[in-house]
Amino acid sequence: MSQQLINLSSDLARLRDTGYEIEVCGGYLIAHHIPYVNPRREIAYGKLITALVLNGNVTARPNDHVIQFMGEHPCNKDGSIITQIQHAAPNTKLFDGLVMNYSFSNKPQGGYANYFDKVNTYSELISSPARSLNPSVTAKTFKAVPNKNEHSVFNYIDTNATRAHILRANARFNGQKVGIIGLGGTGAYILDMVAKTPVADIHLFDGDVFHQHNAFRCPGAPPLSCFDNQPKKVEYLKNIYGNMHRGIHAQGVFVTEENIQLLKQLNFVFLCVDSNRVRGVIINYLLEQKIPFIDVGLGVNLVEDQLIGTLRSTLVTPNQSDHLEKRIGKVDMEDNEYATNIQIADLNALNAMLAVIKWKKWTGFYQDLKEEHHTTYSINTAQLLHEDYTA
């Protein structure tokens, strides 16, 4: 993907063809081997780093004039700091082997038209003192840089993570194999959010057909024609989210005792089923295999032409499952309030968000000071309640 991006973007191709050692990694453009003078009047080499703005995997105009630098602060040939470009010293680690030690500011009138202008301008400013000490030093080595990021789980670069400098936080999802069981409403919104993380694989389990009523409680706006062929929910959703994430696997089956070993490969499971009996079978297996999971529930009733109800999200891990019996039913009851099967898109979405945020806390992406394992939201009282904290 990175080499294709360079080939298709005229400004990046120009940098490469001019001789700069460039690579694209995680949505950042990196120019290696930039000569500069350090405070000891020695010639050293650093890296210029800038987040890319992309439009369809082709570079667009840079959205700012600031650039990042890995190395010591560049100096004039006498060892004094080049104050004209001084900006900040974030010392932020982006990922292994790449640290933004400094950021520089040099804004031309109207900003930079493209990334060639931006990188070339800063390179000339930083390298000029080094060339005055040794005219043979250059950033234009024509050396090819090996591409380290060709195996992304995404079909295009996550420039949102790049702009926010959260690639290291995002890396906590790397390698995870996530299962979503039940894609009727809440499960589909969970998929919408999980598909935007760099997990390795997302396995979808549901044997139902995607019917017209599902369209009114799932993300997006499917065309009427999509119901003609009666696709299964998992196939319909895979076709949509496969546009973004490469690792989506559609398992068009209901999880039963006969095929439950399909879950053995997973590192985490979102359980979104409306049958306590089925839930019980799956939970017993996940506990046996020590696979952490979040079970969601949505109970809504119609009372005097108004809806009331409660949303639930319950985390269970190998280290904490003693709250399970009092929180999650395993037997179908005649008065099970979920049997009404009233589902509303906003409630499905909120239930999914509570579950995904908890999963992201458990993964370490979000800070988790309370480590709650059970959350409920009551619609009519607007009460958000957290319980079952880690001891």
Find which of 12-26, 193-207, 296-310 is predicted with most confidence, using mean pLDDT: 193-207
Confidence of residue 335 (pLDDT cuts 50, 70, 90): very low
Same domain (yes/no): 114, 195: no
Last residue in a domain, options 147, 164, 181: 164
Helix 10-18 with 115-133: angle, nearest 10 deg = 20
> For position 150, what pLDDT does the model report?
57
Amino acid residing at 268: F
Same domain (yes/no): 88, 230: no
Q: What is the pTM of this model?
A: 0.78
- Integer Cα distance of 317 and 61 in angstroms: 46
Mean per-residue pLDDT, 218-225 = 91
pLDDT tens string 318-327: 999 999 888 8
> For position 331, what pLDDT does the model report?
61
> For position 337, what pLDDT does the model report?
44
Pairing of strands 201-205, 248-251: parallel
For the cut 60, the answer to whether the pLDDT of residue 352 exceeds it is yes
pLDDT tens string 171-194: 899 999 999 999 989 999 999 999
Find which of 56-60, 100-104, 308-312, 321-325 is predicted with most confidence, using mean pLDDT: 100-104
Same domain (yes/no): 121, 139: yes
> For position 148, what pLDDT does the model report?
60
Place of tokens 């499952």: 321
For the cut 60, the answer to whether the pLDDT of residue 334 exceeds it is no
Considering its fold, how many domains does the chain have in total?
2
Mean per-residue pLDDT, 308-314 = 93
Same domain (yes/no): 159, 176: no
Same domain (yes/no): 238, 377: yes
CATH of the domain at 228: 3.40.50.720
Amino acid residing at 152: S
Residue 367: both structure tokens together: 């800070």
Helices (H), 242-275: none
> For position 172, what pLDDT does the model report?
93
pLDDT tens string 23-68: 998 889 999 999 999 999 999 999 999 999 998 889 999 999 999 9
Same domain (yes/no): 228, 353: yes
Same domain (yes/no): 260, 277: yes
Amino acid residing at 378: S
- Integer Cα distance of 341 and 59 in angstroms: 47
For the cut 80, the answer to whether the pLDDT of residue 388 exceeds it is yes
Same domain (yes/no): 213, 149: no
Residue 243: both structure tokens together: 């546009």
Same domain (yes/no): 142, 280: no
Residue of 114, 117, 118, 140 whose CA lies nearest to 127:
140
For the cut 70, the answer to whether the pLDDT of residue 266 exceeds it is yes
Same domain (yes/no): 33, 13: yes
For the cut 60, the answer to whether the pLDDT of residue 333 exceeds it is no
Residue 256 belongs to domain spanning: 168-389
Residue of 161, 206, 204 whose CA lies nearest to 26:
161
Confidence of residue 330 (pLDDT cuts 50, 70, 90): low
Confidence of residue 338 (pLDDT cuts 50, 70, 90): very low
Last residue in a domain, options 164, 179, 196: 164
Same domain (yes/no): 184, 320: yes
For the cut 60, the answer to whether the pLDDT of residue 339 exceeds it is no
Residue 293: both structure tokens together: 């999971």
Q: What is the mean pLDDT of the chain?
A: 91
For the cut 70, the answer to whether the pLDDT of residue 212 exceeds it is yes
Last residue in a domain, options 112, 144, 164: 164
- Integer Cα distance of 180 and 273 in angstroms: 10
Residue 23: both structure tokens together: 């690579």
Residue 138: both structure tokens together: 């250059």
For the cut 70, the answer to whether the pLDDT of residue 290 exceeds it is yes
- Integer Cα distance of 195 and 51 in angstroms: 22
| Pairwise pLDDT comparison (227 vs 352), residue with the higher score | 352
If you count them, how many residues does the chain have?
Answer: 391
- Integer Cα distance of 373 and 371 in angstroms: 6
**Residues ≥6 apart with Cβ < 8 Å to 80:** none
Same domain (yes/no): 180, 230: yes
- The percentage of residues in the chain with a pLDDT greater than 90, rounded to a whole number, is 73
